[in-house]
Amino acid sequence: MDIATLFGIIVGFALVLGAIFLGGSISIFVNIPGLMIVIGGTFAATCVTFPLEEVLQAFGGGARAFGIKKVKPQEVVSTMVRIAEISRREGLVALEKIKTENALLKKACQLIADNADPMLIRDTVMIEIATMKRRHNVSIAVFKRLGMYAPAFGMIGTLIGLVQMLSQLDDPKSIGPAMAVAILTTFYGALMANLLFIPIAGKLKARTLQEEVQLNIIFEGAKSILENNNPRLVYEKLSSFISPKERRSGGRQ
Amino acid sequence: MDIATLFGIIVGFALVLGAIFLGGSISIFVNIPGLMIVIGGTFAATCVTFPLEEVLQAFGGGARAFGIKKVKPQEVVSTMVRIAEISRREGLVALEKIKTENALLKKACQLIADNADPMLIRDTVMIEIATMKRRHNVSIAVFKRLGMYAPAFGMIGTLIGLVQMLSQLDDPKSIGPAMAVAILTTFYGALMANLLFIPIAGKLKARTLQEEVQLNIIFEGAKSILENNNPRLVYEKLSSFISPKERRSGGRQ
Amino acid sequence: MDIATLFGIIVGFALVLGAIFLGGSISIFVNIPGLMIVIGGTFAATCVTFPLEEVLQAFGGGARAFGIKKVKPQEVVSTMVRIAEISRREGLVALEKIKTENALLKKACQLIADNADPMLIRDTVMIEIATMKRRHNVSIAVFKRLGMYAPAFGMIGTLIGLVQMLSQLDDPKSIGPAMAVAILTTFYGALMANLLFIPIAGKLKARTLQEEVQLNIIFEGAKSILENNNPRLVYEKLSSFISPKERRSGGRQ
Amino acid sequence: MDIATLFGIIVGFALVLGAIFLGGSISIFVNIPGLMIVIGGTFAATCVTFPLEEVLQAFGGGARAFGIKKVKPQEVVSTMVRIAEISRREGLVALEKIKTENALLKKACQLIADNADPMLIRDTVMIEIATMKRRHNVSIAVFKRLGMYAPAFGMIGTLIGLVQMLSQLDDPKSIGPAMAVAILTTFYGALMANLLFIPIAGKLKARTLQEEVQLNIIFEGAKSILENNNPRLVYEKLSSFISPKERRSGGRQ
Amino acid sequence: MDIATLFGIIVGFALVLGAIFLGGSISIFVNIPGLMIVIGGTFAATCVTFPLEEVLQAFGGGARAFGIKKVKPQEVVSTMVRIAEISRREGLVALEKIKTENALLKKACQLIADNADPMLIRDTVMIEIATMKRRHNVSIAVFKRLGMYAPAFGMIGTLIGLVQMLSQLDDPKSIGPAMAVAILTTFYGALMANLLFIPIAGKLKARTLQEEVQLNIIFEGAKSILENNNPRLVYEKLSSFISPKERRSGGRQ
């Protein structure tokens, strides 16, 4: 579990609910038709914007924002240095035996062991990285769009409420409550966008950036192994991906 | 039919109509002059912004957002691997016989069969991709602009209504309904932008990205065939364009 | 005449005037001091933003948005293929005799005929394209800025009107008309920006993109001629700049 | 003096003052605490945003927006052609004697005369250009930020005024004037941003673009001289930096 | 201490407090639930947006905006020239003895002394620079986001207050004070964003740009030393990183 994601959402909603309770009844903040317009409209517009499989993929990706599967860059660097040592001792063919969960690393090792053309290996790894980024960017784009449509449909709901209220201005006493209801959809849209959609898009982007670093370490490591650098220089180069603080604590091989 | 596009638009409008019905008569939401200003103004401004043939082309392209013509990347990869096998068995000249609906693939095969200079093939394919993107980007730009002009002319309509209402503030009773009418154009503009124009621009962009992947697979495949890689390595490289999940299910040749 | 530009502006203003007439007198929408603040302020701020010669050049360029001087990409492709044929039959020196109105094409032909270094030809053509884009981008930037300053000075005018109205709230009856006048400048600014400045900036950009394609065809054609490709391959390559539909209709040489 | 800058600012403020006079007393538009919040807050936030020396440098740069020191691209081209002729007649060493006020040109001549490695000359000139752009971009960024903070602090001032007014709603008669005062800071912020800060940022950017062209002419000219092109071809290439109209009037050497 | 950062924040808040005092009691500007919603909501949303360690790292980085640790580019240039002289007199191996606090410079010297492949040195230094930029960009992004969430939660707080006020419109006298309280959260959000979060993000960016220049000087210096340029030419090249004014005052070696 990524505690920060869940913690932030719970604390955020708790604060809003607290402020509502302090000011009186919570029932005046519930308006089912308003909720339907904002939530329904937002998702309808998102379905028009993206192919269905991308919307579903994004929600799968959004769930990832709550999960934890972080690989520290130091570990990837260590792995690559270890592979460099193996390839030096036992030859490039030995890389075929490397066992790893990382699909890119596996593919790179296999291509190196196959003695493939360095240019081909380079192209393959770069396509792999671009494909990963494109897939993640789609999920990020879906949540960003949700974060744009939610306030827009909040405003549309408020406009509907205002038109209805203004066209039957008979009883001055009814203006206040009717306007309160009209404003509610704007409130729903702003809250959903700023506490759910936009932040989740941000978390997915942070994840993508971290994963990108990891893939770049593998890419640069594979390049060095192919050019037959010695493991110490491989470490020197790859350790540049780690922040200085963590570098020191990891020590030098 | 791309179900998501039509489904999203219908559900979105149904929700809005539902909220209007719940609040009373639907007739107070109909204002013909207001509709004319928003729709007419939006299209007039769009005609000034783009050459006429680009506007018409965009509407043709917009219709595409409702159609389905998706080619799965896996299929393009399989095609390229098959072509690689043919070219290996029967020589590059055999590519002239390849039959395909994809214009770019056809052109690439012909140029390879003609034994054209690799640099020329590369340039030709890259120009082809750039031309495709430029053509699609124009359609996307038209819908994005429609999505910007609609709320702007909605606001212009509201300003006209407000000025008219305020300049004849004789009867306090008429303020409400007059203001309701004035607000209507803002409502029209926001609804059209957020449920039609901006989402359709998004769908067209998603289509373009998918088509781009397809063209890139052809580009990278042709490059590999020219450099005479074996079909297995062509598959290794091109499969990097496919997401890991679909890769496994497709199996390895 | 580019009909779309003029047509759009006339239809747009006609719709707005129609809505005004429907609602009553047109005189309440005329406010000379308000017009002066919006138009004057917008142009004053533009003069501070750009050097005077660039503002004047932009207005010259803006007039271009109404004119028509479109060269179809197919024609440029045909011209380049014809030149390739001439250069093949009669040698590169024959290019000196080529007659054309296009300044870039003329320069390129001359440099090729002079037997200049390919690197120099490349640099010269690329500088020429960059200079064209820079010049056009200045005009586009001027109209974009006009489209940003107009609503800003519209708002400034409204703020002035509101302050004056609020500071002398003696007669409640005068509030309405005074506020109507205050709102007028916002209306002027929004209308000018969305029906004139932003759309014209868009049309100029569309023109620049079309001209860029044309220059790129010349650039790629000249490159191919220098590398002594045969005219058929020159056509194969350059036809990639044309959309598939127009390609077929043009036939193959 | 760059007349346009001063002219625009004076005309803009004159129009605003005119509109104020037409509507009554100018004294209702003066509010010292409001001015202090907008001006003080804007500059305070800018001091937090940029290192002090960059803020001071930007104001020096801002003054440049009023000065004139324009070098026409034609003149730079002529100079480079002249230098090409000298270097041809008298050898590259003769460039040491070239006298020029332009620091980059001086440095380039000296490096060429020193017979430095072409790669080093290229690197040096490109660093010089990047340093110039970075320095100017800082000044542009400062004015852009001023143009963003001014309306923000205008709104903050208005919020303070509104809270104060609303919390003591005893006398309905005082509402109008109190609200007028509250709105004033929004007016100050909008006026300063749109007539001073944003336009000056624009002028500085225009200057930077012009200077960049000049440096690029020197860069491309030096490259050509090193590659020992003849002066006529140097002119052919560099004249591409000039707009066609000015090219003709300058004639061909 | 970076005086400008602290000075700006103190002066900014002093001006705002001054304006509040002038208008009456400061107590009407204090609303604890409002403060909790704005501060709490902003931080909650930020915790959802970024991994926890990045938020903490950003606050560490934010503190840096108050500290001073500026290294003048002239000094870095002098250091690199000195190193060039040493490497010339005593050979590249002598660089191992260079003592410096700059981690990148140390690494570069060590790699040069180790006689590593120039390509490897280049890659290593570039990765190091990219890692530094990525780390700083995360901190900048956190503060930018804080600056976006603060006004958003300010608006959310105001919407809550408005709904509560409007739904119990019994006593007209209570409208004013209730609305004043509702507006307060918008005021909190705008003030925090424009006087703290956005400016600190700006200062961190300015720092990053300065540090980038420094790393680029080291990068270009190391390149020159490897290519065995003489110290005078190293100075000629690196001095291009310094603004002309400081260059002169520093003199020529």
E45, E49, E124: residue with CB nearest A237: E124
- Residue C249: pLDDT band with limits 50, 70, 90: very low
Q: What is the pLDDT of residues D115-159, one digit of tens each?
A: 788 888 888 889 999 998 998 999 999 999 999 999 999 999 999
Helix D198-226 and helix D118-167: axis angle, to 10°? 170
Q: Mutating which of C32, C36, C48, C140 best tests the D interface, going by the most D Cβ atoms within 10 A?
A: C48
Whether D and B touch, i.e. at least 3 CB pairs below 8 A, reads as: no
* pLDDT at residue D119, rounded to an integer: 84
What secondary structure does DSSP assign to B135-172, as a single string?
Answer: HHHHHHHHHHHHHHHHHHHHHHHHHHHHHHHHTTTT-H
Q: What is the DSSP letter of C193?
A: I
Q: What is the pLDDT of residues C96-119, one digit of tens each?
A: 888 887 888 888 888 888 888 888
* pLDDT at residue D1, rounded to an integer: 52
In whole angstroms, how far apart are CA E241 and each of B19, D57, D122, D132? 63, 17, 14, 9
Q: Would you tell me how many other CB atoms lie within 10 Å of the CB of residue A69?
A: 8
Which tokens hold the place of D224? 């050509």
* pLDDT at residue D249, rounded to an integer: 45
What secondary structure does DSSP assign to D202-225, as a single string?
Answer: HHHHHHHHHHHHHHHHHHHHHHHH
* pLDDT at residue C1, rounded to an integer: 52
Residue A80 sits at the vertex; the CA angle it makes with A77 and A85, to the nearest 5 degrees, is 125
CA distance, residue A52 to nearest chain E CA (Å): 25
User: What is d(CA B164, CA C28) in angstroms, rounded to the nearest whole number?
Assistant: 8
D5, D194, D237: residue with CB nearest C149: D194
Task: Please determine, for residue B42, whether its predicted confidence score (pLDDT) is greater than 90.
Answer: yes
User: What is d(CA E146, CA E132) in angstroms, rounded to the nearest whole number?
Assistant: 22
What secondary structure does DSSP assign to E143-169, as a single string?
Answer: HHHHHHHHHHHHHHHHHHHHHHHHHTT
* Chain E neighbors of D34, CB-CB under 8 A: 19
E8, E198, E243: residue with CB nearest D131: E243
Closest listed residue to residue E143, CA positions, set E42, E36, E213, E212: E42
Q: Which has more pLDDT, D172 or B28?
A: B28
* pLDDT at residue A1, rounded to an integer: 52
Q: What is the pLDDT of residues E172-209, one digit of tens each?
A: 677 888 888 899 999 999 999 999 999 999 999 998 99
Closest listed residue to residue D155, CA positions, set D179, D177, D180, D182: D182
Residue type, C227: E
Q: What percent of chain D is modeled with pLDDT above 70? A: 93
Q: Which residues of chain A have pLDDT under 70?
A: 1, 68-70, 169-170, 172, 229, 248-253
Closest listed residue to residue B50, CA positions, set C133, C208, C247: C208
Residue bearing tokens 């791309």: B2
Q: Would you tell me how many other CB atoms lie within 10 Å of the CB of residue C72?
A: 13
Q: What is the DSSP letter of E50?
A: S
Q: Is the dihedral of CA D61, D64, D69, D73 positive or negative?
A: positive
User: What is d(CA A43, CA C22) in angstroms, rounded to the nearest whole number?
Assistant: 38
Q: Which residues, 6 or more positions from B243, have their beta carbon under 8 angstroms from its beta carbon? A: A131, A135
* pLDDT at residue E177, rounded to an integer: 82
CB D68 within 8 A of CB E54: no
Residue bearing tokens 């390509």: E119
Range name among A61-75, A109-123, C43-57, E32-46 with the lowest pLDDT average: A61-75
What secondary structure does DSSP assign to C105-125, as a single string?
Answer: HHHHHHHHHTT--HHHHHHHH
* pLDDT at residue E250, rounded to an integer: 40
Q: Would you tell me how many other CB atoms lie within 10 Å of the CB of residue D215?
A: 20
In whole angstroms, how far apart are CA C48 and each of B86, C41, D12? 66, 11, 10
Q: Mutating which of E16, E148, E158 best tests the D interface, going by the most D Cβ atoms within 10 A?
A: E16
Q: Which has more pLDDT, C191 or C24?
A: C191
Q: What is the pLDDT of residues C130-162, one digit of tens each?
A: 998 998 999 999 999 999 999 999 999 999 999
* pLDDT at residue A245, rounded to an integer: 74
Contact yes or no for B120 and C224 at CB 8 A: yes
Query: Using CB atoms, which chains have 3+ pairs under 8 A with B?
Result: A, C
* pLDDT at residue D234, rounded to an integer: 87
Which tokens hold the place of C213? 């394609």
* Chain E neighbors of A4, CB-CB under 8 A: 47-48, 50-52, 55
Element (DSSP H or E) covering residue B214? helix B198-226
ipTM of model: 0.90
CB D222 within 8 A of CB D108: yes
CB E190 within 8 A of CB D155: yes
Range name among B117-131, B152-166, C230-244, E237-251 with the lowest pLDDT average: E237-251
Range name among B174-188, B220-234, B238-252, C167-181 with the lowest pLDDT average: B238-252
Mean pLDDT of B156-165: 93
Closest listed residue to residue B103, CA positions, set B62, B72, B132, B74: B132
Q: What percent of chain C is modeled with pLDDT above 70? A: 93
Q: Mutating which of B37, B43, B48, B159 best tests the C interface, going by the most C Cβ atoms within 10 A?
A: B48
Task: Please determine, for residue B197, whether its predicted confidence score (pLDDT) is greater than 90.
Answer: yes
Q: What is the DSSP letter of A71?
A: P
- Residue E68: pLDDT band with limits 50, 70, 90: low
Q: Tell me the count of A-E CB pairs closer than 8 A.
A: 162
User: What is d(CA E11, CA D47) in angstroms, rounded to the nearest whole number?
Assistant: 10
